[in-house]
Structure 1
């Protein structure tokens, strides 16, 4: 609604009042005219001259009456036109696609059109009498009051943006245009608010701004890429190492001079050919599989055997970086090739040397820890293992058993059968005992001469006796003849057993107890075991 519209409505109201007064005056004139006509008829014969004057007056009144009728008709036409204009402006106000709100100078809503009600998500009749500020977020209230203050001071305010908060839904951005509506009848001022939802426009502007930024970034990226490509080309062509560029099928896209020198081909002979064609015959069938695997990894690093043009086999270390599109599709790969042929030969020599050193170390270890005659642990190994197990079981407070045994009347055996048979006898007994003591943690060792020792970690006396029983069975099954033995016609052994939970650093106590038990077994007739007490 415009100020002119409001003014025409007021004119219409004044024209109606004037029409009522004109009709009243016309009625008075008509009554006066009839009275005068009657008076003339009654007094026409009495006084002619006054009557003539009255006749003229009546004619003048009649003309005035006709003029009043014409004015009344014109006023009626004006009233109809004003009413039509008022209705047209009212329709324009109601049907306008943008929101219109009329407020007083305090911001209270006096009138609102349908579009404004739809923007604010409320019934149209709800708005009248409500303060406009209830639809304004708290963060925008300061701006709202500032604009009202500027209007009251007579400042002209251009279109401005204001966030509005509908009754439900999301806050939206509106373009606000304010117009003054004077109210002459009460010397007050109203304000016409034109409200247009520009959320879509703001989103479009934001999108356009983002696109501009993206375009700028793209341009910057392209400039950087061009500069990078120029630097890369310079490095590519002048690098002291071999460079190549492969497509998604593993074909040469580009090569530098160093690669040509490495393989002995010209660039024309290489470009367009598969990199796999230059792999060694035994590796060539695996090229496709290896290349597919490498394409799935951003960084590629592998050793490749290649065949040069002169037939020489080269080993190269290939380091590549794959390039992908934004959709993660593989495009190409940049590769550097280092000739490591000499290094691989040196590595192979070192590998053989390392293997030989390992073999020698094993032999030395064997010589250090293994008794040459019986091929079981020697005294040095026994002492080291006993000390280690003593310390461990002392911490864990678990039992440790030791069995000492020797061959009964072995000197008589040696004197009768000879030292060679004696050595064979000791070897057979040592191997039989080793098979009977099958736990990996146990140790069978030659303690000295015909005497042997068995270390049994985490084993108590009962467990040690079970081991002795197995050993006796194994040795008896050997059936080694001993015609000079007073106790049996075959070789037998005597055992001394000691078991305890280690305390302090006194492993010698375990050896002493087992040795004393062995001595008792010999004193009591041999071919038996005695448990230390």
Structure 2
């Protein structure tokens, strides 16, 4: 009896315990079911649109009448279905970024139906329901949200119009090399339209080498530092063009770098000009307060670039611009917004800008010019200004966009180049030893005077001068002293002519020439006598001359009225012949056609 007692008691106790547990489970299940029924009953009666979505099954497991009305849901007996299955996919995609936080508050959802568009404001929480993750969603119809989204769409169109009015190449991309947008100039360069490029990557357009170089600079910009670099690129038509790329970081409202803005200028022609000047001169050449309706992307682009950008409407009011743009007028962007041109510009500047703006709005074409601006601190800056039209075909608003770039450094370089060219031109026409005109300058001047004197029918005179016994001077005094003698003779000859139109030139070796415009034979003889007198008074020693103890010159004088069919070489031939006569008649004198040789001793006072 005792042997069977304990097993029987143990079995009875186990059965009793299991019965109690079963009762507890049934009670809890009944309570849970009652709670779910109560919850769904409350959702049915709620005036708000409410639904429950099974995250794993991606199905609507409950929807109250209000949400069925708003979103056109229908119950198929097991669960609720959207009229358009794409709406469920859109909603799940909208919820996806918020899974980690398990809640969303005040998120707009734009739902398109065949006859209308609704904007819903969503509040939701992600909780466990019957062992599964379920989104409990409250939705409220938000007409104001639709207006907001519609305004964003208008601003995006305005932004596209603004970008497409800029002739420079502009594109912006995210940190993953995905293009976010570009202007018509950049898209057209690749033979496409801006809308066809969004979402693509730079690797779809650049060669491997170009892409590697671009990524090197992008890494610097993504670290928060803007940069500027110049690179050769291959155009789709196989042309090689040189682009000056200004690359800036794109930042969000938290000042975090999220992408890259690239503004490129085609400087191929400028480069070719530099190359040409370098070839000629070798080593001498050193070579928007934010818009009221603009979205976050426009503000990011405008505030990221150091170049002044701004907008003026067709009535002359400043409607936006960045800080560099406002600084040009002595304001901050907040102070400049809403001001009229008459409040900012002088009368002279106002008239010029109003004339330009009317022309741009009438012609619909941008203009480009350079302007010197004086800042309040006394500094002056050269700006390259591009003014173009913008037009919003949705709102009908139109106006002028200002795009300016600081080109002070470029202007300084251009001035240096111009100075160097002028210096080169001057040096190319001057004899380096005597500092009078060289043979090239003489030939060009003679041809020019010959043509003008032939046209006007007036006399032109030429004096050819040769230093007497100059070979003996060089042989005995040395070439350095000979060079000094040439310099002294050049100064004496130059001192003998008074008019700015007269030209003294080194004709070659120890020979010099004097061109006398509008001068007859008598006037030319007076100049010859003056030269002989100045040479005699200078008394430059020459012990080895067979003429005198001082350096002397012989002069040939020729005067003529140029005639049609006669070459200017005839004047040179006659003067050279007279110089030959002066040499053979004893030197230190001048000869002219029809005269006997006249010695310097006879012409001296």
- Shorter chain as denominator, the TM-score bin is 0.3 to 0.5
Larger fraction in strand: 2
Larger fraction in helix: 1
Rg larger for: 1
Normalising to structure 1: TM-score of the pair? 0.42
